[in-house]
Every structure is written in structure tokens, then in C-alpha cells.
Structure 1
Amino acid sequence: MTRNFRQELLTASGGFHEKYKTKEVIGRGLSSVVQRCIHRTTGKEYAVKVIELADDSMTDAQLDEVRRSTLNEVEILQTVSGHRSIITLIDFFSSATVAFLVFDLMKQGELFDYLTKKVTLKERETRVMMQELLQAVEYLHSRHVVHRDVKAENILLDDGLHIRLSDFGFSCLLRPGQRLRELCGTPSYLAPELLKCSMDETHPGYGMEVDMWACGVVMYTVVSGFPPFWHRKQLTMMHNIMEGKYQMNSSEWQDRSHTIKDLIFRMLTVDPSLRITAEQALSHPFFYSHKLEEQPFTSLQKFRVVVWVIVLCARLWANQRHRRPVSQNDLIQDAYRMRLGRRLIDGHAFRLYSHWVKRGLVQNRAALFQNTPRALAEEVHLNHDSSLH
């Protein structure tokens, strides 16, 4: 922090510090830091985004943009306040050099970090998370707000793993019929029309459809574990975005339903006029696919079914055998034929002879330690290994 900023924290922003007590840093941005804070009266925990509005390392134009973005974020948050899947602005303090935005504390952090641990989400978890995200986007669009920076890093999770859409710095109100031309957002989430608009002065501009494209990128990522258009060469990535080039034929997709693929396809449609809206997406069959779908099994699903059938049959057969009472005649004629008899005989033989007595070619060394106490097995393994035959 700059010297002026530190002074501002101690003087002009006294209102915030009188009401809240700051704790550890939980996140950082280009011109901001996020800390956990505690309300002094109630003891309730929140998160405060501290934005430096006067930094010697920034140009005047950059500082103006930070101030404008901060005020815009506050106005947008006040406009969309109250939705359960959108972060709530609890309090706001501002001066000439610093701003404090107090939010709900989302203890599970970003969806991005959650994916780092989980890699991919199952369809049931994806269904819940995407439904909440699309409900948030639908709510924004119904109030003529376009977010313009929907991404995994801006989706926060609470203790119940419910999502809250956050970071409205790029958001703006969009009047009916109005189109935007500003290039903003995160490269791998940018919609094709937004990129084309930045390259073509005659392009008509873009609208709320860019949020649905970003939702498609988020959904693809949580399902497969990697983004659809990422490439180490940015020009190649931009080309793939504008052409809508992505794939769903890798092993990660073999076990996924047709409905989840179809919804992603409809969100990642290059032509914004044909792209699915948030309202339409919420009515998509994917959100009702917990019911049995009439679709052919994939090869992997068939293999799993076969394995489970074999295991089930083996267990039923074993249980049936164990239910038959063992007679004295059975023990006299061939006690070793029964599993219980084998274990009993082998266990006592091992204790008597202290080594394995091989019975035919089907026996293996693994059975040596199956019927003995662990300590005896370890002792035999160390001292009598040469006697195995």
C-alpha cells in the first residue's frame, strides 16, 4: 500500500473501522484486497473489498477507471440486491482515496479453487450449480444488467456449496435495443461477437448474450475439468472462439448424458441470435434428467453394467452356498472342497508345520498369509521364506 493509502485507512475511513474489525487477507486483485472482517456489535463475519482509489503507480486514466468501476459496481449491486444467487452488498464506505465494500463471507471461496480440488463435478452437482448460476443471470437480464465477466473465479461458494455470482466491475445497464462495443472480460470466456466487435468497426456490437456464452464455458469446464477454448497461443484461442471450435469426444465425455452436452452446445453457439437465453436454458431437459433418459448406453456404461451383474451373481451364488448346512458326511468325504473347510484346515496346518503345504497348482503364495495372525505371518515371511514350495 502507498503511504497516502495507509493514512486514509487511519483517518478518513474511520467510519468503517468503527463498525468493523479487519482480520486476515483472503484475496487480492489489481487495485484491491479482500479481507475477512467482523461486525463489532453483532460479531458476525463478513468479507470487505478494500479498493485503493489513489495509487502513485497508476496513471490518472487508470485511477479514473478504478473509481468509475467501483461506483458502477456499487450501483449495480444495489440494483440487483436480494437475489439468493448474487452476492449481497452489506455496507459501503468511500472517500477520495479508498473504498470499502462489505459483502457476505463465502467461506468455501471461489468455484475455481473448488474445481482445483475436485477436477470435475458429477452431473447431479453440475445441475444444482448451473441452475443457480442461470437463475442469477436470468435475474440480471430481467433488470437489463449484463455482467460481462462471468467466470469460475467470480462464482463464490457458501458452506452449503450454493453459489453467489460476484465482481460486478464490468457490469452495466443495457437499455432495450442498445448494443455495446467495449472490449472487457477474461480472454478464455469472451464471446465470439465481442471479439469480432473489437476487430471490426462496422460490427453492430454485442448484448446480454455474452453472459450465456460465458455460462457455457463455465459448464463445459466443470464437466470436463478443462476449458473448451484454452490454448497457449492466444491468437489460436481467439480463432477457436470465433469459429466455435471445441470437442466433446475425449474420454471425459464418454460417461456424460446427451442432455448435458446439448445444453452446452446451445450456450456455445457462435451466432448470438441463435444462442439459448437464460430463461430457455432453465427449461432445458438437463435440469430434469435425474429421471431415466431413453438413450443408448455408452461402451463404458455397458462395461460397468456387466461388471456389476457379475459381482451380484457371484455374491448371490456365494450366499446360496453358505446357506446349505454342512453335514458330517460332507466333512468326511471332501472337507477341502468347501471354503470354510479349506480355511480351517489350512490355518491349523500352518500353525502345526509353520510353513505352507502346497496342494496342487492352483494355490499361490498370497494365500499363505490369509489364514494366519499378522504377527505369525510376518515372522514366517522373514524367517521361513526359503521353505515355501
Structure 2
Amino acid sequence: MAKEEDDDNLPDKDAAKEFYARYEPKEIIGRGISSTVRRCIEKETGREYAAKIIDLSQESQDGVDTHTMRDATRQEIHILRMVAGHPYIIELQDVFESETFIFLVFELCKNGELFDYLTSVVTLSEKKTRYIMRQVLEGVRHVHSKCIVHRDLKPENILLDDQLNVKITDFGFAKVLKDGEKLFELCGTPGYLAPETLKANMFDDAPGYGKEVDIWACGVIMFTLLVGCPPFWHRKQMVMLRNIMEGKYSFTSPEWADISDDPKDLIRRLLVVEPSERLDIIQALNHPFFNTMAIKSSGFNARAKLRVALACVRAAVRLRRLPHTAARALPLADALRDPYTMRMLRKVIDGCAFRVYGHWVKKGEGQNRAALFENTPKTELKSLYVSNLSR
């Protein structure tokens, strides 16, 4: 392996000789507070994997001691083995543990996080959202069937493989539930927390929470995939948390005008404040949004195929004779007054915003793209719109 400046972060050969005997680590593909993720090659087969190297040699930056970190990692390994074998859950290939390091070898998902994919495409179509969310819910159903709650479902913890299939990952907050057990710890990511999680932390008489919190998180994810921004975002975190506890969100932004009723209805039934009234995982998968017509094949029919081909040719000829809609000019006054309400411009604006601001969630709430259009455009921005429209 070529020497690189990051190699001084690798553990010594003596402590990791078993790992190094089987795998050859390559470039860094991710970092955590006390861990590094590297692409690696299995020497015997040549297959690629992702190795998460957890450093236990010193206290982590967030104050977690080595003993606690080791126990938490062992608990995550136990849960990963419980949910192993499902196509939409990350597969743990190998584990190596030494005094100072733990090596977790996972299948490699070359398309990275769902979050990064969303960043690149801005929003997902209903068809693509259906494809992604069906797999997420199927994965969650398997997790719940093992009496496990994930507690940190979000686009950053959903990976995509070579065929853009979902792989749910990061079970660091996951918990095995006993019959009737309720949880009270506050853990997860603020924008994806369910109301009952917040109440369990705020009120002494709160009943706690269970697997329903994952259903709520799926609703937040689905909302975000369709329009590119989360449902409960606000500059002030306390306002955001209040909106979550009240289930206060809306479909009034311009993006929702292009989206049909079925996905909106499913989101409404997932983002229900009262957990007992929220859809369960089976009901969610049986929602009309996921029901697609299956076309039955009755064998090859040459005459029918020819009729379809001729109809397609006639339709193509007629379409060529129609005036081209792209030649129509956009009303300049409307574009200057409120460009974001115009479907033709909205994708362009969103795409530019993502390229300028990058990973808006990871850079903090100040970078959230939902805030980009709350202020009236200044003269310079209006000039930019005019120059772009005139091209």
C-alpha cells in the first residue's frame, strides 16, 4: 500500500496482526470522533470491504471513557449479528478486537450515504422515493421483528450499494427491548426525534417510548426525500422541538404542488404525535403509495406488438408537429417577484443552492436550504435572475 499522510493514524502491526493478515487497508473513506473508516481488500478473495477502526487507546473527544466505548461497541456488534442476513441491512463481515483497537469489517457501499445522494439530486421523484422508502421500511420491519429499536434512523445512516439499494447502518443507539419495555434515554438526532422521545426526557410522568419512534423517523426521511428539506426545521432549536412535539408541519411550500396525494397521506399517518395512532410497519408497507399495478404476461403476441409499435410511430410524428413548449418564454415579472414558485426554475435554484452550500445538514442549521428563500432577493440577485432568464 502506498504511504500516505493519514497512515500515522493506523494502529501498530502487533496489535492488529490478525486483521492485517487477512485484509489490506486502503484509503480513508470516512471519519468519526474516535474512529476511521477505510476501504480494504480481502487478500484471499480480492473483494472490497469497509473497515471501521475504533481507537480505544485514549479517551474520546466527547468524554466517553474507553470502557464505555468498548461496551457500546460490543453491544452494537451483538445487535448487528441479530439482524444479519437481511438485504436492506448492512452486513458485518468480520470483527477483530485488541487492547487498543476494534476492527469492524462491513460490506462496502460504493454509493455512500443516502444523504449525499439526496444532496446531489436535490429531491427524489415519487417513483424513486417509493423505491427507497419501501426498502427502508422492509429493513425496519426486520429490525423490529427482532424486538430491536434503531433510534437513529436518518439519511446519513442509510447507505446505498452499487445498485442504489438501501443498507441501514449505524446501530450505535439501537436497543433490544424486553416485552412491554419502554425507554427514557434522550438519544438520536434532533430533527428526527419523535415527540414521545422528547417527552420522556422532559416530563417525569411520561410513559416512555418504544419501536414507534422508528416509524416517526421514516416519516421525516420520506418528507425530506420528496422536497429536499426536513419537516420540522427552524433556526431556533427550541422552536423546532416544539413543532415536533405538536406535530406541526405543512405541505404548503411550492414543491408540494407537484406531489400527488398518496405520499402526503402516508406522511400524515407516519408523523402522528400519539404513538398508538401512528401506522405500524405493516400498515405503512400496505399503504396505497406502495401499491403498484402488476402487469401479467400472457405470452408473445406478434400482431399486438406490431399494433403498439405503429401507434408509437404515429404518436411520435404528431408530437413533432406540435409547437415546442420549451420555446415559451417565462413571464419575467413573475420570475422576479417569486422565482421559487415556478416549477421550471425551482430545480435550477435548488441545484445551485446545493452546490454552493454543500451538505447543509452537516454544516449546522444555519446552512439549511430551507432558509435560503425566506428573505426578499436583493438587487444583485434579481439581476442574476434576469441575466440567466435572458440566455
TM-score in terms of structure 1 length:
0.72
Query: Which residue matches 1:361?
Result: none
Query: Which residue matches 1:194?
Result: 197
* Cα drift, residue 316 of structure 1: 4.7
Deviations along 1:20-47, whole A, 9 cap, x unmatched? 0000111111111111000011110000
1:107 lines up with 2:114 in the alignment: no
1:257 to 260, 264, 272: 260
Looking at structure 1, the residues matched to 208 and 254 of structure 2 have their Cα atoms a distance apart, in angstroms, of 37
> What letter corresponds to residue 50 of structure 2 in structure 1?
A
2:209 to 193, 201, 206: 206
Looking at structure 1, the residues matched to 62 and 164 of structure 2 have their Cα atoms a distance apart, in angstroms, of 40
Give the 5 Å matches for 1:257-276: 257-276=260-279
Q: Is the 8 A contact 1:51 1:100 kept in 2?
A: yes
Q: Is the 8 A contact 2:111 2:159 kept in 1?
A: yes
Query: Which residue matches 2:94?
Result: 91
Looking at structure 2, the residues matched to 182 and 253 of structure 1 have their Cα atoms a distance apart, in angstroms, of 35
Looking at structure 1, the residues matched to 177 and 191 of structure 2 have their Cα atoms a distance apart, in angstroms, of 23
Give the 5 Å matches for 1:228-377: 228-288=231-291, 315-316=320-321
Query: Which residue matches 2:145?
Result: 142
* Cα drift, residue 56 of structure 1: 4.3
TM-score in terms of structure 2 length:
0.72
Q: Is the 8 A contact 1:36 1:46 kept in 2?
A: yes
Deviations along 1:349-370, whole A, 9 cap, x unmatched? xxxxxxxxxxxxxxxxxxxxxx
Gap change, CA 1:258 and 1:53, over 3 Å in 2? same
Give the 5 Å matches for 1:30-45: 30-45=33-48
Looking at structure 2, the residues matched to 31 and 103 of structure 1 have their Cα atoms a distance apart, in angstroms, of 18
Q: CA RMSD in A?
A: 2.0
Gap change, CA 1:200 and 1:22, over 3 Å in 2? same
1:116 lines up with 2:116 in the alignment: no
Gap change, CA 1:314 and 1:28, over 3 Å in 2? closer
> What letter corresponds to residue 222 of structure 1 in structure 2?
L
Looking at structure 2, the residues matched to 196 and 119 of structure 1 have their Cα atoms a distance apart, in angstroms, of 33
Q: Is the 8 A contact 2:59 2:66 kept in 1?
A: no
Deviations along 1:46-100, whole A, 9 cap, x unmatched? 0011111222455875333321221111000100100000000000001121100
Query: Which residue matches 2:176?
Result: 173
2:229 to 226, 235, 242: 226
Q: Is the 8 A contact 1:267 1:276 kept in 2?
A: yes
Q: Is the 8 A contact 1:31 1:52 kept in 2?
A: yes
Deviations along 1:252-275, whole A, 9 cap, x unmatched? 111111110011111111100111
2:161 to 124, 138, 158: 158
Equivalent residue of 2:144, what SS?
A: helix
Q: Is the 8 A contact 1:259 1:289 kept in 2?
A: no
Give the number of aligned pairs: 295
Gap change, CA 1:317 and 1:198, over 3 Å in 2? closer
Query: Which residue matches 2:135?
Result: 132
Deviations along 1:338-383, whole A, 9 cap, x unmatched? xxxxxxxxxxxxxxxxxxxxxxxxxxxxxxxxxxxxxxxxxxxxxx
* Cα drift, residue 144 of structure 1: 0.2
Question: Does 108-117 or 58-67 show the bigger shift?
Answer: 58-67
The answer for unaligned runs of 5 or more in structure 2 is 1-7, 295-315, 324-391
The answer for unaligned runs of 5 or more in structure 1 is 292-310, 319-389
Gap change, CA 1:163 and 1:312, over 3 Å in 2? same
Q: Is the 8 A contact 1:231 1:237 kept in 2?
A: yes
Looking at structure 2, the residues matched to 253 and 65 of structure 1 have their Cα atoms a distance apart, in angstroms, of 45
* Cα drift, residue 288 of structure 1: 1.5
1:74 to 64, 72, 77: 77
Equivalent residue of 1:182, what SS?
A: coil
Q: Is the 8 A contact 1:121 1:223 kept in 2?
A: yes
Percent identity of the aligned residues?
A: 52
